[in-house]
Chains A and B, each alone.
Chain A
Amino acid sequence: MEWIEMQKQFVIQNLLGLHVRPAKAVVASASQFNCTIQIEKEGVQFNAKSLVGVLSAGIKFGDTVTLIAEGEGEAEAMKTIGDLLASPIEENPAKKVQP
């Protein structure tokens, strides 16, 4: 079966960016899928199943990244990891305020 690459843009909502703890959450989630999953930032792609990869991207709060998945389970992977990227991954302080 042929898989067509899927991709979608997300704006990072975790206030402290993807530092070690949220990056671990992304890697743990991505590793459950068989498809290849990349996170692209400023034209460079990083392996979402690798902590080294995700950390190397140096992703900060408010950054726009593109999630790219290809292979078995890609639609589900896009949804699961996309939801994660678009959420405040860590428990943010109770009194987080909207402008």
Chain B
Amino acid sequence: MILQGVPASAGYAIGKARIIREEVSHQPVAKIDPSTVAGELERLEAALARAADELSRLHAKWIGDGREQEAEIFEGHLYLIRDEELTSLIRSKIADDYFQAEFAVREAAEDIASRLSRLDDPYLQLRSADIRDIGDRICRCLSNKQEERAAPGSEREILIAEDLLPTYIAQLDNEVVVGFATSLGGATSHTAIIARSLGLPAVIGAVTNLERIEEGQTIIVDGVEGKVIVDPSEEDLASYGELRERYLRRLNELRAFGNRPTRTSDGHLVELTANIGSVKEASSAADCGAEGIGLFRTEFLFMERNDLPDEDEQFEVYRDIVQAIGPEAPVVIRTMDIGGDKELPALNLPKEQNPFLGFRAIRISLEKMDLFKTQLRAILRASALGNISIMFPMISTMQELSRAMEAVEAAKRELAEQGVPFDRAVPIGIMIEVPAAAILADRFAKVVDFFSIGTNDLVQYTMAADRMNAKVMHMNNGLEPAVLRLIYNVIQAAVAERIPVGMCGEMAGQPLAIPLLLGMGLQKFSVSGGSILATRELISRIDRREAQELLKDALELDDPDKIKACVEKWYANRQASIMMEVALGKSQ
């Protein structure tokens, strides 16, 4: 039996099912005799003290392990357990309503949880699950039970439960419990965050039929694909066993590349950032070791809705991204790149014959100035909070660029008049994805603060080959000599004007392209979050002078297949091991 859920913490685990059942979920109202109120209150105070003590120890342990982000979750719990409002609510439910202490705790926790959940604030990290967690902890302390730990055994266990609380996961014995699956929760819950930081494979939420699993059954948790395999076949066990080994080996190799700058083997620093399309991806990019956000696609704000996002809504999203990745980290926000094939229902744009050559991106923004100005104001407001840059997509002419820059100036003037803070020196850059802009790169470089080469479109426009059309797809190749020469031209133009130049297309993460790009002098690579570590590892093994030699040879060739062979040979002459799969996810 294979159950599908949401992958919440990557990795593979094989073990025996241990079913965790909710102990006291729906207790009936438990009343006490008014004469026992004093005793019940004393019992509560003792339980609160014990619970606070447990949390202090957990907090200290995680701080000691250098896991401050996780420790902060427990610090928050500690605050709540000593919270005047929560504790006085519990006390009044005992003293005034004559509730039994356990029942009073649950009722009070429920009240507070629902009050907090009504506030629509993304920063409210204390969610209803945390409040419930605290309620459970106090109840456990009330009944004088020790913190439950997995029974010491030789068998590896997979926990199966409707829901598991973050603090429960945090104190599991990692030797025994190797993974878990739950039917409630989500990938962004604190439970998932803790599981990821413990490296505990987990499938959380949306797993139906979990109740059909029986105690002791063999279970495979596939935290990469979000699968739970019950009673696997011998073949499954063998293949997952191998997958697990390979995963752990690769993880170990890559882990060394998590928290360090990206440097070529001869010491040149390059910037390695992530491409993202949502706030959620910003947090996972940070977990993946990204140095910032090289491309935030703002399209999701505009798609699949019938109205337009207002300034505050957009500001909150940009602010959340800065918060997720950190105020120092660079964040490049690309203004809306929509139209043509990506629908924008609110504007009711007509279908086009040739959407990729049509009314899209900056072309729409410059026509719909209100929409553009709203987005620019929101980005500028967020620029006061972090290291934000603005980037325009699909720029083809200098006239488009100057109109777009005028719009930025106008938005800045408005904000200044209204006394709203923003970064006056916010860098303005363009995507180089239209051949017209690539050809005039020397001119554009005199006006903008940075370039980012978008290879997906640049390749298809340069080669006039639709990447969705199977007949011509083979021509859609970044190693085509024309494409390489054009990219080199852009990089040289940027270097000549001393402006930074990066790449945010797929090519930036491709092992065959990376040495060529380094040889050309590319300074910034923006790739998908999952490719960060492998790309950093690869770059760290490349000597830039050797890459320059390789580039010289490659530029002499007229055939993309020969260029590919040339790069492969270059790799083979160095270390065979650096020809690795780019991402862990691709190792399957």
Contacts and interface: CB of A to CB of B under 8 A. Distances in A.
Given A51-B126, A58-B121, A99-B418, 7 more contacts: A15-B384, A19-B121, A51-B80, A56-B115, A56-B119, A93-B386, A94-B328
Interface of A: 15-17, 19-20, 24, 27, 47, 49-53, 55-56, 58, 92-99
Interface stretch (B255-263, B394-402, B419-427): B419-427
A65 to B, nearest CB: 15
B79 A97 contact: no
B415 interface: yes
A24 B76 CA distance: 8
B83 A50 contact: yes
A94 to B, nearest CB: 8
B85 A20 contact: no
Nearest to B85: A50
B151 to A, nearest CB: 35
Interface in B104-131: 112, 115-116, 119, 121, 123-126
A52 B116 contact: yes
B384 A96 contact: yes
Contacts of A53: 84-85
Contacts of B424: 97
Contact of B79 (A15, A27, A94, A96): A27
Given A16-B323, A27-B79, A55-B116, A93 B85 contact: no
A52 B81 CA distance: 10
Interface string B315-348: 0000100010001100000000000000000000
A19 B422 CA distance: 21
A27 B323 CA distance: 22
A17 B80 contact: no
Contact of A96 (B85, B112, B328, B421): B421
Residue from B86, B123, B328 with most neighbouring chain A CB atoms (10 Å): B123
Interface of A is mostly: loop
Interface in B389-429: 415-416, 418-425
B374 interface: no
B259 to A, nearest CB: 21
B385 interface: yes
A51 B124 contact: no
Contacts of A27: 79
Contacts of B85: 47, 50, 52-53
Interface residues of B, number: 36
Interface of B: 75-76, 79-80, 83-86, 112, 115-116, 119, 121, 123-126, 319, 323, 327-328, 383-387, 415-416, 418-425
B116 A50 contact: no
B76 A20 contact: yes
Contact of B420 (A17, A20, A92, A99): A99
A98 B384 CA distance: 9
B211 to A, nearest CB: 34
Contact of A52 (B83, B123, B385, B420): B83
A58 B121 CA distance: 8
Contacts of B83: 50-52
Contacts of B126: 20, 51, 55
A11 to B, nearest CB: 12
A81 B115 CA distance: 25
12 contacts: A16-B323, A16-B385, A17-B121, A19-B123, A47-B85, A50-B83, A51-B80, A53-B84, A93-B386, A95-B425, A97-B383, A97-B384
A96 B79 CA distance: 30
Contact of B119 (A15, A50, A55, A96): A55
A51 B126 CA distance: 10
A79 B424 CA distance: 33
Nearest to A30: B84
A58 B421 contact: no
Nearest to A24: B79
A95 B79 contact: no
Residue from B112, B384, B386, B415 with most neighbouring chain A CB atoms (10 Å): B384
Contacts of B415: 99
A95 B421 CA distance: 11
A20 B415 CA distance: 28
B63 to A, nearest CB: 16
B124 A55 contact: yes
